[in-house]
Structure formats: C-alpha cells, structure tokens
C-alpha cells in the first residue's frame, strides 16, 4: 500500500526539520496584517477528509457563487496549516479570517479571547470518529503506554485529539490525572504520522489522527490496531473539527460571512448527493494518493455526517473547565458558537 503522500512544498520530510519549519511559520505569522474589507476571505484548513466541506467549496467555487448572490465578488484564499496551536496563532495575528481546527483549539481560543476578540464557532465540519492507532503490540488500551511510547497528534495538549485523550485519562485515572499522557505526545502533521505508523521502526508508536489517515494505518500495517475511539470517549457521534472566527470579522463582513455559510450548506448537500464526485474532489484538491475505494467507504460510512450543526461538543467543554484547562465555563454550545440558525439545536 502506498504511504500517505505529503506535499514537499508544504511539509518537511523529517521530524527535526518539521519542528523548525513550524517555528518559522508561526514567526512569520506573528505580525498582524491589515484588516480585510468585505469580499475577501482567508480560510485555514488542515489535513484529512474532515475538511471535505472546504475542499468541495473550493473546487466548486461555492463561496464565490454565493457572494455574487449577495452582490459582491469574494476573493477566497485557502491556507494549509498543521495543528490547532498554529491555526490559533494565525487567527489572532490577523493572517486568516476563518480557522479550521478541532473543538479543543476552539475552546482554548474562545476562553483566551473572552471579552476581547470574542472568537466563537462558525460551523461544524461534521461528525467523524477519530481513532488512536498504535503499532506497538504491547499497547491494547491507553493504560499500556509507557515512557518509551510517543503519541503523534496535531498539537500537544490543545488539539481535539489531545483533549479527548485527556478526557479518556480522567475517566480511567481520575480528573487529577487528566494530563497523565501529555508527556508522551509529539506534534506531527497527520500525513507524516501516518507514514511513521505504517512503516514502523520510529519513536512514534501511536497516532491520534483522523480520516483517511487512521484507515490507511489500519490497512497498511498488520500490527496497527485501534486503542481508542473518540465516539466511545465522548458518548456518541461528535463534531470534532469546526470552523471559527472573531466577532469583528462576522460583524464587519456580513455578506461574506453569509456567503460562506451558504457555501458550506451547499457543499454538505453536494457530498450527500454525489459521494463519488466528492471523493474525486478530495483527491484532486489535496493532491492525495489515498486509495479511492477506501476514501469512498469513509465518506459513505454511517458514522460520518457532513453537517454544519455542532453535535456533542459541550461535554468536552464542561470537562476542560472542570479540570482548569479553560477558565470560563460556557452555559451551552451557544456561548462558544455564534448564534446562527444552523447552530440552533446544537450540543
């Protein structure tokens, strides 16, 4: 089976150069750019099928289409980053308008900007089970990890994968031990982490990823197994990856904002009605060599729903406040998501 392909233009080939490049990227984003006027939209996305709504919107130029319906021409730019920490830095630096990352990073930045920039969720990108996969034959549960193991995920401590792992740790060992496995975590982009799990022989013995990387690992290494399923930890289907923005962007760009929401809604309907075309769009926009049959199986999975309404996120928010990871306690999902129509009924 072919290893997950990583763009040489965007990602380094070794962990050492990866960490250096990430530092340089954040440094380059440190200076805020000028505020964008109505009709310009910069969106940060990361890696995986969880960003398929954005891939379809990009390929079909849906934001531009709905912008014209609002009477404006919208210039759309998609920025590829890795890790919620880097995405949050870019948003606060003013270098992107809409962030795509996990619920963990959203709750972190919502708490950090409460009463100031007031960053809140724009929409969910859908419900997806996230698997913690290990190629260490001695690891069957999270209790089996030792100091010799390294768990790859997008961002240490703050990514949604890290937060779900913390919740699982708290359920097993108690709230005081929620960060017990943080010391084993390393920040690695999903494509590189998946390649390490499939190949084996590296310090990385586990990867808390997302589709399609987790499925590639299970298919590509006979020793790979699921150690943890996010749905089991969260109590059912959950919106792990979301979009969010500052209050100022939403207020100053109502037409662009509405065009973006309308584009996401159309992309959701497109995927539901055209899964084969959606699979081709993912492969094309991501320059991916993922097995098409495997990808299509993910898109059609009954456990996967491409929808805008957030689901089953509040339990994680309540947990993070309980253990002191965020200071502000939200009363409901509407505290950390904007009060838009598609958020109604969210959880």
> Given 215, 234, 253, which residue is the final one in a domain?
234
Same domain, 117 and 157: no
Statement to judge: residues 97 and 184 lie in one domain: no
How many Å separate Cα 148 from the centre of its chain? 27
Mean pLDDT of the chain: 89
A 10 A CB-CB count for 341 gives 9
Domain assignment present for 124: yes
pLDDT at 33: 42
State how far the Cα of 40 lies from the Cα of 184, in Å rounded to an integer: 40
Does the residue 317 lie in any domain? yes
Look at residue 7 in the predicted model and tell me its pLDDT: 37
The answer to whether residues 124 and 139 belong to one domain is no
pTM attached to this predicted model: 0.86
Q: What residues in the chain have per-residue pLDDT under 70?
A: 1-37
CA dihedral 82, 83, 88, 89 (to 10 degrees): -70
Same domain, 108 and 246: yes
**Same domain (yes/no): 29, 116:** yes
Task: Mark which of 213, 234, 255 sits at the end of a domain.
Answer: 234
* Radius of gyration over every alpha carbon of the chain, rounded to an integer in angstroms: 19
Q: Would residue 229 count as lying in a domain?
A: yes
Cβ 295 vs Cβ 212: under 8 Å: yes
Q: Which of 130, 101, 126, 100 is nearest to 271 (CA)?
A: 126
Which of 57-70 are b and which e, b meaning 16 or more Cβ less than 10 Å from the residue's Cβ?
A: bbbbebbbebbeeb
Alpha helices in the chain (DSSP H): 15-28, 52-59, 62-69, 84-92, 103-113, 160-173, 190-199, 213-220, 230-234, 247-252, 254-273, 275-285, 292-300, 314-322, 333-336
Asked if residues 328 and 115 have their Cβ atoms less than 8 Å apart, the reply is no
Q: Are residues 98 and 145 in the same domain?
A: no
User: pLDDT tens for residues 236-258?
Assistant: 999 999 999 999 999 999 999 99
Is residue 143 a part of any domain in this protein?
yes
Quote the number of domains for the chain: 2
Predicted pLDDT at 32: 43
Residues 115-124: tens digit of each pLDDT: 999 999 999 9
Q: How far apart are CA 263 and CA 255, in angstroms?
A: 12
Residue 321 lies in a domain: yes
Indicate whether 123 and 147 sit together in one domain. Answer: no
Shared domain for 255 and 331, answered yes or no, is yes
Contacts of 319 (CB under 8 A, 6+ apart): 166, 167, 170, 178
Domain annotation covers residue 305: yes
Query: Which residues lie across from 243 on neighbouring strands?
Result: 100, 123
d(CA 96, CA 244): 11
Q: Give yes or no: residues 137 and 216 share one domain.
A: yes
The Cα 185–Cα 156 span in angstroms is 6
pLDDT, residue 34, reads 43
| 148 belongs to a structural domain | yes
- Contact at 8 Å (CB) between 49 and 282? yes
Identify whether the C-beta of residue 278 lies closer than 8 Å to the C-beta of residue 299: yes
From 199, 214, 234, the end of a domain falls on 234
CATH number for the domain spanning 183: value is 3.40.190.10
Do 124 and 260 belong together in one domain? yes
Q: Are residues 169 and 259 in the same domain?
A: no
Is there a domain that residue 24 lies in?
A: yes
- 123 with 24, same domain: the answer is yes
- Structural domain of residue 272, as residue ranges? 15-128+238-343
């Amino acid at each position: 089976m072919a290893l997950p392909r990583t763009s040489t233009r965007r990602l380094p080939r070794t962990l050492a150069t990866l960490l250096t490049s990430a530092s340089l990227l954040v440094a380059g984003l440190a200076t805020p750019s000028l505020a964008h006027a109505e009709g310009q939209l910069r969106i940060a996305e990361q890696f995986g099928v969880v960003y398929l709504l954005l891939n379809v919107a990009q390929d079909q130029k849906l934001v531009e289409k709905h912008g014209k319906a609002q009477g404006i021409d919208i210039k759309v730019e998609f920025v590829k980053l890795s890790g919620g920490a880097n995405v949050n830095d870019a948003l606060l630096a003013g270098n992107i308008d809409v962030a795509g990352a996990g619920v963990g990073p959203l709750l972190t930045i919502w708490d950090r900007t409460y009463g100031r920039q007031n960053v809140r969720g724009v929409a969910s990108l859908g419900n997806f089970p996230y698997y913690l996969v290990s190629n260490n034959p001695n690891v069957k549960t999270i209790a089996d990890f030792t100091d010799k193991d390294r768990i790859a995920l997008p961002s240490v401590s703050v990514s949604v994968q890290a937060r779900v792992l913390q919740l699982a740790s708290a359920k097993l060992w108690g709230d005081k031990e929620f960060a017990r496995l943080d010391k084993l975590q390393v920040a690695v982009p999903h494509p590189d982490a998946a390649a390490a799990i499939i190949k084996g022989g590296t310090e990385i013995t586990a990867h808390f990823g997302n589709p399609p990387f987790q499925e590639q690992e299970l298919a590509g290494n006979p020793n790979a197994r699921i150690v943890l399923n996010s749905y089991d930890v969260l109590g059912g289907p959950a919106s792990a990856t979301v979009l969010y923005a500052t209050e100022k962007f939403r207020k100053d760009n109502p037409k662009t904002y509405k065009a973006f929401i309308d584009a996401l809604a159309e992309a959701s309907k497109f995927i539901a009605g055209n899964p084969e075309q959606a699979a081709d769009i993912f492969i094309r926009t991501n320059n991916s060599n993922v097995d098409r049959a495997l990808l299509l199986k993910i898109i059609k999975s009954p456990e996967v729903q491409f929808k805008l309404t957030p689901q089953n996120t509040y339990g994680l928010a309540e947990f993070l406040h309980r253990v002191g990871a965020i200071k502000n306690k939200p009363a409901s999902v509407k505290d950390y998501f904007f009060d838009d129509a598609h958020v109604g009924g969210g959880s």
